Structure 1
């Protein structure tokens, strides 16, 4: 049975939490309202309209007026991270009249979620440039993460079984540097813990031989079913045919490495690599932290320094199920320019090198 440490409410023991005061939340709400006033309200009002460089630039300018304590925390996390690879912000402003949790995995329009949408984009603008992928969630910059009937057993965001620890889109050449998850609605029974483990915490538990093997390109990741023409985004990643090229799990400085891992979809290429990967998994589980996200909680995962997942929960499909919104950021958008249309933040469909 897994055990979890909870992040400290005051940022003490874990040093990861910023809890906005009521005046700070209200200040943030006013910033979100100002940004909303800039948005075109005609049809279509779908999520894709945010893929506009002028609009994103205006959001970035307005986001300079978020509460200073939040701005400092986000700026510091962007520049230097923290030992836990995560920043948790509580009391982010949400819309007063939240619509039902979408049954099909996507809200129809941003206009019903003005405050939440622009508040999340404002946070992301402090972390870098928003990025999305045409293969995933129709290329939307702000995505809905909800349980989908019939997908319960899938190792993807539409499922409700234990979601294994993973690097988000670790197989992609332009994977996110940061993953933001904003909770609009918690699960009914408060069982779904968002879990994370930082490589900095696990590193002292690894043998020198394990680290040496993890730094070699002896691993590959089975692509999520939406990528590379393998499906629609609702399948099981490890069952998809396309795989990444061989890659290392650890890279970068010896004392402060980066990690790419997926404990469901990553395949070691030989027995030595398999033993090292098992050792890493045990070390990650030993330092695992988990928290039940409540409405208004926004978690930022440094996708280079930590893996994340989620414990199982029981959806009811009654319009009140768990509902997160997800948005990615990269520290520098420019390296991906060859795979994006001019003026777009969305990467073109991935063309994998080959199958298993």
Structure 2
């Protein structure tokens, strides 16, 4: 009996030693010397990742680690995305991170009213994106914050931005009121882009949309300087005062010389500007001018508007701007 007990103890000890031998490498530190970003492509498997880590010298034996992961690791699927692997992380830690950890999200923001040429510049300046793109069609990008992964193509990011605009515009169009003067989603985008450029105040957008809608309704010229500037700069700041010759030019974007909407958007309008032209404020105003506080003074008659213009000029003189 004593011999049997001794044999059992020896076998148990050997089992513990064997288990330790099997488990220890799985939980031991790898060759990662510093925190390292690691990208898991869509469709990657634990096998392909282990082989890749072996090739990079992070682990010494992919087959040995895969065998241990089969018995000791979880069965959750591997996530696609970018992860930050900590220095010295064990293979067990790496597997758990790729199965259950947080994917690193990176973001690019398109502010309301950012023209497509500047969207293009912003995307091309993002070093973690790949591939070349053309300047997106004006008005096709929905201003918002978008996430992306390291190594993702710029074309894919633009497609998401444009898909978001298509979706929002279609939904907003269905909610338009009978106060809207635009006859199509495309016209809504054009007018919204003008509203976006005419005021930076969210609370003013419906009122500006109302005044511009009144002008369209009676066949009056819109008179928006931003449309006149657009063919010259493609949405970038002009950096100088508009020339008289430019104000008199009969190009289709010059709404001081040509009645109606210009042929296309002059920037990428946000949700609030689009909503404003589809449900403009009820107003008789036809005119507006800056009031010196960051907003605008609205007027129904030209005489009232001229008085507002005189006040604005006086404010500018007092500021030394004239």
TM bucket normalised to smaller: under 0.3
Higher helix share: 2
Pair member with larger Rg? 2
TM-score, L = length of structure 2: 0.24
TM-score, L = length of structure 1: 0.22
Higher strand share: 1
- Whose RCO is larger (CA < 8 A, sep 6+)? 1
